Amino acid sequence: MSEILLGVKNLNVSYFNTKVVSNIYFNIFKGETYALVGESGCGKSTIASSIMRTLPEIAHIDADSQILYYASPHPVDLLKVPEYEFSNNFRWREIAMVPQGALNSLNPTIRIKDHFMETARAHNLDKKEALEKAWKLLEAVKLDPHRVLSLYPIEMSGGMKQRVLIALALLLNPKLLILDEPTTALDVLTQREILIMLNELKAKYGLTYMLISHDIALVADIADRVAIIYAGRIVEESNVENIFYNPKHPYTIGLLKAVLKLGEFREPETIPGSTPDYRKLPPGCKFHPRCPFAMDICRREEPPFIEVEKDHFVSCWLYAKR
């Protein structure tokens, strides 16, 4: 588990002139599940859309940002390849995604079968072959292909739609699957089933996952490594054990507390303060207005990203030598 599949380097994304994602670095290794965790609006989907190249026109990626994909001997910068090449060689063939908003991601006026066939046609997959593949995948996500293929999206429950989206993502045997909030908007029982299924699929098809979620339980269950994101920046990154049993960053600690207290029938402790406004981010550490440990230097200078123990990185002045 040391071969890199995807390397994001210095990713900076703005909407209009507001920078939303700043200076993001991370590697995803073959076969692992890498999780991006953070509050709503922290930029998780923006990172995913940068990789899939589906950002809206108003979005802008800085020229020196890189997203390296290690399929062939030499890594390819996905941000630099021409659109047709990306479409032919990478989109859905190498990297596919299960979008956030499962309930709304299927065309309400065409059948499920049409969704599979149009995707196949867009990638020059033979019709018969595509239908067989769709059939197998629907079985793999525990749906009845015969019935589901002829349904319209509105005739399906949220859980069924989510399963269809997962099956659709695997149509062209991708290596990397981006899962954007795969369990939100589903009831607890369905969440559980999807989670088990994701684990099965990963083993069966040799997939690598990039998981986006604020569902801490899901992350704890299936992630290998976790990046905690605050205001478009990675503030802590490590393996899942370190993040849950030995969190370092005050934001990570707050995030975990907010969730874990739920089990004890107490008011969940939320992190005081509100999510930042990207148009007027504070100077220094972006978390300082909400941080109980904020010091002088936190208000002036952005903390460096440092390795506090092996493979455990934190961006916080508490751990930095000044």
Partner 1 sequence: MNWALRKAIFSLAAWFLAVSISILIIVLSPGDPALIMLTGFLQQGIPYDQAVRMVQAYIGFSPAEPWWSKWLRYLLGVVTGNLGVSITYRIPVAQLIANAIPWSIFFVSYSLSLTVILGVLIGIALAYYRSNTIFVRSVTTVLTVFNSIPNWILAAVFFVYIGARWQLLPYMGPYSNDVTPGLNLQFIASVLYHYTLPTMVMVLTSIPGWAFGISAMASAILKEDFITYAKARGLPSSRILWTYITRNSILPIYANIAITFTWLLVGTVWLESQFLLPGLGSLLATTSGARDYPVMIGVYVILITAIVLGALFTDLTYGFIDPRARVGET
Ligand X SMILES: Nc1ncnc2c1ncn2[C@@H]1O[C@H](COP(=O)(O)OP(=O)(O)OP(=O)(O)O)[C@@H](O)[C@H]1O
Q: Which residues bind partner 1 (CB under 8 A)?
A: 52, 54, 57, 87, 91-92, 96-97, 99-101, 104-110, 114, 118-119, 122-123, 152, 154-155, 168
Residues 13-28 as b or e (16 or more Cβ within 10 Å = b):
bbeeeebbbbbbebbb
**Residue spans of beta strands (DSSP E) within the chain:** 4-15, 18-29, 33-37, 59-61, 66-69, 76-77, 95-98, 176-180, 208-213, 225-230, 233-239, 305-309, 312-315
- x/- mask, ligand X, residues 99-118, rule CB under 6 A, reads -x------------------
**Residue closer to ligand SF4 (CB basis): 276 or 303:** 303
Our finding on whether 45 is near Mg ion (CB under 5 A) is yes
Question: Among 36-44, 140-148, 301-309, 311-319, which window interacts with ligand X (CB under 6 A)?
Answer: 36-44
Count of Cβ atoms closer than 10 Å to residue 185 Cβ: 17
Matching residue, tokens 């399929």:
71
Q: How many residues bind Mg ion (CB under 5 A)?
A: 2
Our finding on whether 20 is near ligand X (CB under 6 A) is yes
- Relative to beta strand 305-309, strand 312-315 is antiparallel
Query: Is the separation of the CB atoms in 178 and 51 below 8 Å?
Result: yes
Count of Cβ atoms closer than 10 Å to residue 83 Cβ: 9
Our finding on whether 49 is near Mg ion (CB under 5 A) is no
CB of 12 to ligand SF4, least distance (A): 20
Instruction: Residue 173: name its binding partner from partner 1, ligand X, Mg ion, none (Cβ under 5 to 8 Å by kind).
Output: none
Question: Among 7-15, 28-36, 179-187, 313-321, which window interacts with ligand SF4 (CB under 6 A)?
Answer: 313-321
CB of 41 to ligand X, least distance (A): 4
**Residue closer to partner 1 (CB basis): 165 or 308:** 165
**Residue closer to ligand SF4 (CB basis): 90 or 287:** 287
How many whole angstroms separate alpha carbon 12 and alpha carbon 57?
Answer: 15
Residues 243-282 touching ligand SF4, rule: CB under 6 A, are 250
Q: How many residues bind ligand SF4 (CB under 6 A)?
A: 13
99, 153, 276, 303: residue in contact with ligand SF4 (rule CB under 6 A) = 303
Secondary structure of the chain: what % helix, strand, coil (to 5)?
A: 40, 25, 40
CB of 173 to Mg ion, least distance (A): 26
Count of Cβ atoms closer than 10 Å to residue 103 Cβ: 13
How many whole angstroms separate alpha carbon 314 and alpha carbon 227?
Answer: 10
CA atoms within 13 Å, Cβ hemisphere of 107: 10
CB of 246 to ligand SF4, least distance (A): 16
How many whole angstroms separate alpha carbon 296 and alpha carbon 299?
Answer: 6
Instruction: Residue 46: name its binding partner from Mg ion, ligand X, partner 1, none (Cβ under 5 to 8 Å by kind).
Output: ligand X
Can you name the residues that pair with 68 across neighbouring β-strands? 7, 77
Site residues for ligand SF4 per CB under 6 A: 250, 285, 287-288, 291, 293-295, 298, 303, 316-318
